[in-house]
Amino acid sequence: MKKTISLILAAVMLLAAVSLTSCGKSGKKLVMATNASFPPYEYKEDGKIVGIDAEIAALIAKELGLELEIKDVEFKSIVPGVESGKFDIGMAGMTVTETRLKSVNFSTSYATGIQSIIVAEGSPITSVDDLGAEGATYRIGVQEQTTGDIYCRDDYGDSRVTSYANGAAAVEALKAGKVDCVIIDNEPAKAYVKVNEGLKILDTEYAIEDYAIAISKENEELLKKVNEALDKLIKDGTVKKIVDKYINAN
C-alpha cells in the first residue's frame, strides 16, 4: 500500500512539473523574440537587451517559473517564428492587427503606442494632413512590416513608401534625403531625434494603437498563463511603473 501511494505521489509531482515546463515549448525557458532597435521598449545596452518589453517579459517568466531567453531577430521574422513554435512569445512594441491575428494569438494589451512623424528641421511637412494633400508626393520611410508600414501603404500607396530593416535605418535615410519623413512609434521616435541633430517630431499623431504579446495559436495554455501573469502585473501597478520609468527617462 505504501508503495502504491508513493507511486501515485510521484506521478502527481511529475504531472505538476510537466504542467509548469510545458508552458514554454523550450522546456524550462520562455523564449522571447524581439527586434532590439526599438527604444525604449527594446534596445541593447552594454551588449544586453533591455527595455520595457524585456523587463515585463522577465517578470512574466518569473511568474511562470521559467527562465527568460531573448532572441534578437528581424521584426518581420517574429510572427512567423512564433507561429511555427520557434519562439514562445513575441514582444517588440507589437500592435494587434487583423492580419497578425490570422497567424498568432495576442495577450491582453499592456501599453499604448502612438505613431509619430519625424521630419528634418525646416521641412514643408508640418502635419499629417500634408502627407495626404492633393498632389502630395512626399516619400515616407518606415520599419518593414510594422503597423506604420501597413498603414502608410494603405493610405499613400506603395510607390511613396520605403521599408527599412529597422527604425535607425529609416532615420538614416531621412538624414540622407532619401525620404522626406519617417513614421514610427512615438517613443522610439523621441530616442532617435534625441541623438540625431536637425530632426524633429511633428506635433500631430498619425495613429494610436495598443501593444500586446504574440503567442502561437497552438499554445493556448501559454496564452492563458501569460495573461494571468500579465493581468496581475497590470493590476498591482508593476507594468505602469516599468513603462513610466523608461518613458520618463527619455
Say which residue, 17 or 169, is predicted with more confidence: 169
Helix (H, G, I), strand (E, B) or coil at 172: helix
Strand partners, 95: 211
Residue type, position 65, single letter: G
The pTM for the full model equals 0.75
Pair (121, 192) in one structural domain: yes
| Cis bond before residue 40 (omega within 30° of 0) | yes
Work out the percent of the chain whose per-residue pLDDT is above 70. 88
* Structure confidence at residue 113 as a pLDDT band (50, 70, 90): confident
Pair (96, 124) in one structural domain: no
Q: How many domains does the chain have?
A: 2
Pair (184, 161) in one structural domain: yes
Looking at residue 11, its pLDDT comes to: 45
Looking at residue 24, its pLDDT comes to: 61
Q: How far is CA 35 from CA 1, 40, 134, 201, in A?
A: 56, 12, 36, 22
Pair (160, 236) in one structural domain: no
pLDDT tens track for 116-144: 999 999 999 999 999 999 999 999 999 99
Looking at residue 27, its pLDDT comes to: 65
Q: What is the CATH number of the domain that holds 150?
A: 3.40.190.10
Phi-psi category of residue 235: left, alpha or beta, with phi > 0 → left and psi -120 to 50 → alpha = alpha
Looking at residue 118, its pLDDT comes to: 98
Residue type, position 200, single letter: K
Instruction: Give the span between the Cα atoms of 184 and 115, in whole angstroms.
Output: 5
Q: What does 2-14 look like in DSSP terms, one character per residue? A: HHHHHHHHHHHHH
Pair (97, 62) in one structural domain: yes
Pair (139, 196) in one structural domain: yes
Stretch among 4-13, 33-42, 200-209 having the lowest mean pLDDT: 4-13
Q: Where are the beta strands (DSSP E) in the chain?
A: 29-34, 37-38, 42-45, 48-50, 67-72, 89-90, 104-106, 111-120, 140-143, 161-164, 181-185, 199-201, 207-211, 214-216
* Residue 3 maps to a domain: no
Pair (159, 141) in one structural domain: yes
Pair (103, 187) in one structural domain: no
Q: Does pLDDT of 17 surpass 60?
A: no
pLDDT tens track for 21-45: 445 655 699 999 999 988 999 999 9
Q: Does pLDDT of 250 surpass 50?
A: no
Pair (104, 220) in one structural domain: yes
Query: Which residues form the domain of 28?
Result: 24-110+212-248
Looking at residue 166, its pLDDT comes to: 93
